[in-house]
Amino acid sequence: MALSARNRLTGTVTSVEKDDIMAEVVVELGGGQEITSTITRGSADRLDLREGDEVAAVIKASEVMIDSE
Amino acid sequence: MALSARNRLTGTVTSVEKDDIMAEVVVELGGGQEITSTITRGSADRLDLREGDEVAAVIKASEVMIDSE
Amino acid sequence: MALSARNRLTGTVTSVEKDDIMAEVVVELGGGQEITSTITRGSADRLDLREGDEVAAVIKASEVMIDSE
Amino acid sequence: MALSARNRLTGTVTSVEKDDIMAEVVVELGGGQEITSTITRGSADRLDLREGDEVAAVIKASEVMIDSE
Amino acid sequence: MALSARNRLTGTVTSVEKDDIMAEVVVELGGGQEITSTITRGSADRLDLREGDEVAAVIKASEVMIDSE
Amino acid sequence: MALSARNRLTGTVTSVEKDDIMAEVVVELGGGQEITSTITRGSADRLDLREGDEVAAVIKASEVMIDSE
C-alpha cells in the first residue's frame, strides 16, 4: 500500500444504507468486531459497494482515540 | 457506552512511544489486525498507557474510509 | 474519564434534528456559547438524545483549529 | 464569519507548547471550561500565539461527538 | 489569514447539493483539479453558497494523507 | 481508484520534515497552490517520501471546509 494512512482493517460489508448525500457502510472485521463508516453517497455509488464485498476500512492514525476504561 | 462514536475496537496495547507533544499507541485487535493511534502525550500520560493494557480504539464513523480494491 | 480525547465540554441539548443517516445536535455550553455536532442518526437514536439532556461535547485535540483574528 | 465551520468558541490562550513539528495550545473558554488544540508549529509561529491572546477555537461539526453519560 | 488551518485552496463553486442535514459542495481549483466538501446544510444556507462563487477550501494539515503510488 | 475518499490532488513533494513521531510534508499542486500534510514519521519512512516525488494528497470530503469570504 502506498497510502500514508496507518490503519487498514480488512473485512466484509454487511450493510450499505444511502440517502441523498450520505451513505453508511458497516464492515465486519475478523474476531467478531465491526466498524461503521459514513462516506458520501457519491463514493458509495462509484465503488458500487454491496453486502458481501471484501473491503478495507482505512483510518488515519490521528483520528483514533484510546479508551482505557 | 454513552458516547456517540460508533466504533469501539477492543484490543491490547503493544507499543507506546512518546515525544514532547505527541504519542503513538499501537493496539493489537483480535484476528491478527492492529490499529495505530496518535494522541497527545498529555493524554497518554493521563491514561498511564502501557504495553499489555486492555483498551478500546474509538473512532467516529465520519473518519472511516472504505477501500474496495 | 478514561478516553484520550482532551476536550469534554458540558452543556444542555437545545436541538436534535434527524434525517435518514445523519443527525445534528446543538448543545448550549455555559457562558452563552453553543456547539453543533453531526453524528449518525443511529447514534442519536441509541443515545436517545432529546432537548434538555445534560451531555458533553467530546472533541479530539487534533480537530481543533485556532483563529487569532 | 464566512467559514463553514459551525463552531467558534471564544476564549483566552493560557498555554502554548511547541516541539519541532507540532504545537499544543490551551484556550480557557467562559464558564470554567477549557479546550486543547494541536496544530502545526508552523501555524503557531505564523499566528504568533502567546498566553493571554484572545482567540477562537474553531471546530467542524463533523468532528464533535456527544457523550450522554 | 488568522486561522491556524494550513491549507486554503482557492477556486470556483461548480455544484451545491443539499438534503435535510448535509450539503455537498464541489470547488474547481486551478490546474484542472477539483475538491469536494461535505458541510452542514445550515452552513451552506448561512454562506448562501451558489455555483460560480469564488471560495477557498480550507483543510487542517492533520486531515491530509499522502499517496505515493 | 478504489478508495472512498473523494479528493485526490496530485502534485510534487517540495519538503519533508520529521521529528520523533510526526512528519510534515508539503506538496506543490498545479496552478501555484500548495498543500501541507502531517502524517506519522512511521508513514513518511515507510513511503520513503522525498523532495521531488510525484504524489497525491488524499482528503475525505467530510474534512473540507468552505470559506466564502
pLDDT at D1 over 70: no
Residue type, C65: M
Secondary element (H or E) of residue A46: helix A41-47
pLDDT tens string, chain A, 69 residues long: the values are 699 999 999 999 999 999 999 999 999 998 889 999 999 999 999 999 999 999 999 999 999 999 998
Over range E31-38, report the average pLDDT. 93
Residue pair F22/F36 in contact by the 8 Å Cβ criterion = no
Q: Could you tell me the CATH number of the domain that includes residue F56?
A: 2.40.50.100
Residue C2 lies in a domain: no
Alpha-carbon span B27 to F21, nearest angstrom? 16
Hey, which residues 41-60 in chain A have their CB within 8 Å of chain C? none
Residue A69 lies in a domain: no
pLDDT tens figures, D10-54:
999 999 999 999 999 999 998 889 999 999 999 999 999 999 999
H helix intervals, chain B: 41-46
**Cell 503493544, residue?**
B14
Report DSSP letters for B50-64, one per residue: -TT-EEEEEE-GGG-
Provide the domain limits for residue C58: 7-62
Report DSSP letters for D2-69, one per residue: -B---EEEEEEEEEEEE-SSEEEEEEEEGGG-EEEEEEEHHHHHHHT--TT-EEEEEE-GGG-EEE--
pLDDT tens figures, A23-42:
999 999 988 899 999 999 99
* pLDDT confidence of residue B20: 97
Residue E35 lies in a domain: yes
Alpha-carbon span A38 to B62, nearest angstrom? 5
Query: CA neighbours within 13 Å on the CB side: how many for E6?
Result: 25
pLDDT at D69 over 90: no
Residue B51 lies in a domain: yes
* pLDDT confidence of residue B1: 65
Q: Which parts of chain C are beta strand (E)?
A: 7-18, 22-29, 34-40, 54-59, 65-67
Angle at D1 between CA D63 and CA F33, to 5 degrees: 75
Alpha-carbon span F2 to F23, nearest angstrom? 26
- Mean pLDDT value across chain E: 96
Secondary element (H or E) of residue E24: strand E22-29
**Cell 491549507, residue?**
E7
Please answer yes or no on whether E69 and A20 come within 8 Å at the CB atom.
no
Residue F52 lies in a domain: yes
Residue C56 lies in a domain: yes
Q: Which three cell numbers stand for residue A20?
A: 441523498
State phi, psi for C56 to the nearest 5 degrees: -120, 140
Total domains present in chain F: 1
pLDDT tens figures, B13-51:
999 999 999 999 999 998 889 999 999 999 999 999 999
Sheet holding C65-67, edge to edge: C65-67, D54-59, D7-18, D22-29, D34-40
Report DSSP letters for E5-22, one per residue: --EEEEEEEEEEEE-SSE
Residue B24 lies in a domain: yes
Angle at E40 between CA B61 and CA A35, to 5 degrees: 5
| Partner residue facing B24 (CB), from F3, F4, F21 | F21
Nearest to B37 by CA among B11, B66, B67: B11
**Cell 496518535, residue?**
B38
N-to-C CA span, chain C: 33
Alpha-carbon span A33 to A9, nearest angstrom? 11
Secondary element (H or E) of residue C51: none
Hey, which residues 3-22 in chain F have their CB within 8 Å of chain B? 3-5, 19-22
| Partner residue facing E60 (CB), from C23, C65, C69 | C65
| Partner residue facing C62 (CB), from A19, A38, A62 | A62
A27-to-A30, A46, F39 alpha-carbon distances in Å: 10, 18, 25
Please answer yes or no on whether D42 and F24 come within 8 Å at the CB atom.
yes
* A29-49 exposure pattern, b = at least 16 Cβ within 10 A, e = fewer: beeebbbbbbbbbbbbeebeb
State phi, psi for F44 to the nearest 5 degrees: -60, -40
Residue C68 lies in a domain: no
Chains that touch C (3 or more CB pairs under 8 A): A, B, D, E
* pLDDT confidence of residue E53: 98
Q: Give the distance from residue E21's alpha carbon to the nearest chain A alpha carbon, in angstroms.
A: 9
